[in-house]
């Protein structure tokens, strides 16, 4: 089943002629237009007619049919996606975050901890969210130390469960 991949999120209007400022989830602003029209969560399509870099991690985009500030302001908060199939294949040891969603999370002994629900980035680095069988969620730093094994074809990741070092002794 093809998944959609989040490429940008609209953070506000830019100027009076319908441009929007977006937070990028691509390496470069130019990558946004390479994969065809973007779609929002409801499936509405947006064709990029102009794109330029803004400050790091942001870009200013103009869409066909969005010609004034009011229309641009209405897009604030919209997440913009492309189909996973539109993106290039990944190299060895590479993956898209969307490829991880739904994978089973196991500990090093093969015990099921839950499933990958999301990868977040709140500014200090990526965080992996795992939904446990009881419905609770666990957030962990998404690093090679915390997630040493990613086996997309096998449908799983291995999580190094942090141990509480203070449980062995009482002072």
* Domain edges within the chain: 4-86, 97-162
Please tell me the predicted confidence (pLDDT) of residue 168. 41
> CA-to-CA distance for 64 and 20, rounded, in angstroms?
12
> CA-to-CA distance for 15 and 40, rounded, in angstroms?
22
Q: 167 pLDDT exceeds 60?
A: no
- Which homologous superfamily does the CATH classification assign to the domain defined by 4-86? RimM (2.40.30.60)
Cα torsion 64, 65, 69, 75: sign: negative
Mean per-residue pLDDT over the chain, rounded = 88
> CA-to-CA distance for 141 and 123, rounded, in angstroms?
12
What's the CATH architecture for 97-162? Roll (2.30)
What is the bridge-based pairing of β-strands 156-158 and 104-106? parallel
> CA-to-CA distance for 129 and 115, rounded, in angstroms?
8
Q: How many CA atoms lie within 13 A of 90 on its CB side?
A: 11
Confidence of residue 162 (pLDDT cuts 50, 70, 90): low
pLDDT tens by residue, 80-135:
999 888 888 888 888 888 889 999 999 999 999 999 999 987 777 899 999 999 99
Place of tokens 């010609």: 67
């Amino acid at each position: 089943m093809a998944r959609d991949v989040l490429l940008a999120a609209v953070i506000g209007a830019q100027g009076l002629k319908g441009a929007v400022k977006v937070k990028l989830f691509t390496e470069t602003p130019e990558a946004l237009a390479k994969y065809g029209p973007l779609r929002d969560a409801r499936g509405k399509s947006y064709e990029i007619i102009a794109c330029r870099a803004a400050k790091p991690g942001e870009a200013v985009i103009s869409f066909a049919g969005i010609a004034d500030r009011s229309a641009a302001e209405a897009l604030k908060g919209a997440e913009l996606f492309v189909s996973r199939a539109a993106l290039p294949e990944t190299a060895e040891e590479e993956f898209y975050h969307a490829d991880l969603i739904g994978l089973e999370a196991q500990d090093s002994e093969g015990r099921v901890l839950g499933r990958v629900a999301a990868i977040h980035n709140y500014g200090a680095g990526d965080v992996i969210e795992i939904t446990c069988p009881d419905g609770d969620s666990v957030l962990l730093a998404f690093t090679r130390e915390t997630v040493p094994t990613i086996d997309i074809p096998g449908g799983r990741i291995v999580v190094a469960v942090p141990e509480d070092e203070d449980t062995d002794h009482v002072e």
